Amino acid sequence: MSNENKTIHDFELNLICDFFSNMERQGPGSPEVTLKALSFIDNLTEKSLIADIGCGTGGQTMVLAGHVTGQVTGLDFLSGFIDIFNRNARQSGLQNRVTGIVGSMDDLPFRNEELDLIWSEGAIYNIGFERGLNEWRKYLKKGGYLAVSECSWFTDERPAEINDFWMDAYPEIDTIPNQVAKIHKAGYLPVATFILPENCWTDHYFTPKVAAQKIFLTKYAGNKIAEEFSMLQSIEEELYHKYKEYYGYTFFIAKKIRL
């Protein structure tokens, strides 16, 4: 398999965890975008139960928890991320309301109709957008909210290079109108949709990634697989700068309107 055809899923989890552990966020986003998405959600109280699915080290979770009063559970299948998550919660003085647990997003440890809000930034792709929408819905109370960011096509047609890259990495990527239609079909009322600004990629993702790459390559000096993984991250950035008018992340906020 050539380097160009490899995706992140072809690498060992401990390598992925080591690389992204040195970043506040494991994907495009920003505190401003987290709070903008939160602004569309009402009825949250100190009794609200919130889950951040695929939370990573919790960069967005701590922002979220700083602006809501309910209980927040972060879930990720990488224990290394959860260790950092819980350390960050303690350092932020949020440990009484914010807890990170190791778990799988295809087998969530919540009861039916238990949650007031399901949050997931840049992570639902791990289970698949449509599958996540359908399987997570049962955990929400009637009137509960889902807020997820997901990669989207901005145009119906695009150059072959970027189309082929995403078809290899995540074949379920779709246009925003199609994604909204999937949300509606899964039994939610679409409430708001907005595209993440470019600085979510550049300032909050690619720039911190440069420092993370240096730490990673120093630790794994001479390790060809680690170097290949690092190279893949650089390719992702090059493609974004070349084709950013064709794709990016979109935040979708939706409400469960019936049981």
Look up the CATH number of the domain holding residue 176. 3.40.50.150
Range 11-23 burial, b when 16+ CB lie within 10 A, else e: beeebbbbbbbbb
Dihedral over alpha carbons 111, 259, 249, 69 (to 10 degrees):
-60
Residues 94-124 have pLDDT tens digits of 999 999 999 999 999 999 999 999 999 999 9
Q: Answer whether residue 44 is part of any domain.
A: yes
The total number of structural domains in the chain stands at 1
- Residue 6 pLDDT: 54
Domain that holds residue 114: 23-196+246-254
- Residue 7 pLDDT: 53
Sign of the Cα torsion 106, 109, 111, 116 reads negative
d(CA 233, CA 44): 37
Q: Answer whether residue 238 is part of any domain.
A: no
- Residue 55 pLDDT: 98
Residues placed in the known binding site: 25-26, 76, 104-105
Q: Answer whether residue 234 is part of any domain.
A: no
Q: Answer whether residue 167 is part of any domain.
A: yes
Sign of the Cα torsion 110, 143, 106, 12 reads negative
Residues placed in the known binding site for S-adenosyl-L-methionine: 25-26, 76, 104-105
d(CA 100, CA 126): 18
Q: Answer whether residue 78 is part of any domain.
A: yes
Question: What single string gives the DSSP state of each residue in 153-204?
Answer: ESSS---HHHHHHHHHH-TT-EEHHHHHHHHHHTTEEEEEEEEPPTHHHIII
- Residue 2 pLDDT: 43
Q: Answer whether residue 18 is part of any domain.
A: no
Q: Answer whether residue 221 is part of any domain.
A: no
pLDDT in tens, the chain (259 residues): 344 455 555 568 888 899 999 999 999 999 999 999 999 999 999 999 999 999 999 999 999 999 999 999 999 999 999 999 999 999 999 999 999 999 999 999 999 999 999 999 999 999 999 999 999 999 999 999 999 999 999 999 999 999 999 999 999 999 999 999 999 999 999 999 999 999 999 999 999 999 999 999 999 999 999 999 999 999 999 999 999 999 999 999 999 998 7
- Residue 258 pLDDT: 84
d(CA 55, CA 52): 5
Q: Answer whether residue 226 is part of any domain.
A: no
